[in-house]
Amino acid sequence: MRGIVRRGVAVVPQAGESFERSGGQLPSCRPELDQRGVVVAALWRGEPPQQGACKRARRGGRHFQVVTGRLGRVHGCSMRLHPGAKPEFVLHVESRLAELRSELPAVLPPAPASIVLEIGCGHGHFLARYAEAHPDRFCLGIDIIKDRLERAAKKGRRAGLTNLHFHKTEATELIDCLPAGISLQAVFLLFPDPWPKKRHHKNRLVRADFLADLARRVVPGGAFYFRTDHSEYFAVGRTVLERHPDWEIQPAAPWPFEEATVFQLKAPEYQSLVAVRRAP
Ligand SMILES: C[S@@+](CC[C@H](N)C(=O)[O-])C[C@H]1O[C@@H](n2cnc3c(N)ncnc32)[C@H](O)[C@@H]1O
């Protein structure tokens, strides 16, 4: 049996039946639905999605997308499962999102406020310097790797910056959970994972559906800054933005602030673009 999960609506197999998507099969999937039919958790036989397991899965074999209410919109290795694992594991995506929703108001300025976001901030080199240079702007850096965020946070503490916060979260989840009244005045995406294989392109962040979700939180005239050393990703990203109803590329717009990131220092060359949120 084939199951289909779209955002917010789920048509899924019954308990014990298998679930097929993206060329993979998730054995013994037992989705738990809420009253709207949204998958809030999936119980299956498999290893917990710890970093180690994910890395092994990535090297060794096939990946399986976690079944959640947001299937197809949740990315990153921590969302992927090793298929050959033993103990049963329950992943409560909704409870993680609820936790994020409750954490964010405490670390962000009170609403209404417009903030600067860096997605995939890594060790925080760029955002720490940016926040230092713009004390009037609140800067939020997110990443899915804890160690990198700890190093980033240290930079902010050492510089005594109160307008800077780093948070461990995934980009699509952050956008879903941003408190009402918090908008984005600028979004930086610097050297994002390029996902070079065609079958992984769906994991790229510069894609139409994510850009639409992002645009809903960006103020009109707010900017999206994209920089990468992966020329194919850059070209595809530029085309996606050119065709996107919410964004307008501004070829003459200057890059607003220069501070080399870890990946920038390693890149022999790179390309940048600035796109501005159109007025709705
Ligand atoms: C190639 S590294 C670049 C890091 C940094 N921007 C730099 O230029 O040095 C990409 C970063 O994005 C993070 N990342 C990947 N997917 C993400 C996602 N969906 N949400 C948030 N961060 C993500 C990774 O953990 C990693 O730290």
């998730």: which residue's tokens?
26
From atom 14 of ligand 1, which residue's Cα is the shortest distance away? Answer: 120
| Domain 107-277 sits in CATH 3.40.50.150 | yes
Cα distance between residue 151 and residue 139, in whole Å: 16
> What's residue 95's pLDDT?
59
- Which comes out higher in pLDDT, residue 249 or 47? 249
> What's residue 43's pLDDT?
41
SS3 254: coil
Is 213 catalytic? The answer is: no
From atom 27 of ligand 1, which residue's Cα is the shortest distance away? Answer: 122
Banded model confidence at residue 98, pLDDT cuts 50, 70, 90:
confident
Cis (ω within 30 of 0) for the bond into 112? yes
What tens digit of pLDDT does each residue of 55-90 get? Answer: 222 222 333 333 333 333 233 222 333 333 222 233
- Residues 261-270, mean pLDDT to the nearest whole number: 97
CA 82 to chain centre: 21
> What's residue 280's pLDDT?
84
Q: Which residues line ligand 1 (CB under 6 A)?
A: 75-76, 119-122, 142-145, 148, 170-171, 190-193, 261-264
Cα distance between residue 151 and residue 154, in whole Å: 5
Where in the chain do CATH 3.40.50.150 domains reside? 107-277
What tens digit of pLDDT does each residue of 7-56 get? Answer: 222 223 333 333 333 333 333 344 444 444 444 444 433 433 332 222 22
- Residues 142-163, mean pLDDT to the nearest whole number: 96
What is each CA distance from 87 to 27, 47, 83, 84, 90, in whole angstroms?
13, 6, 11, 10, 10
Secondary structure (DSSP) of 14-45: PTT--EEETTEEETT-EEEE-TTS-EEEEEEE
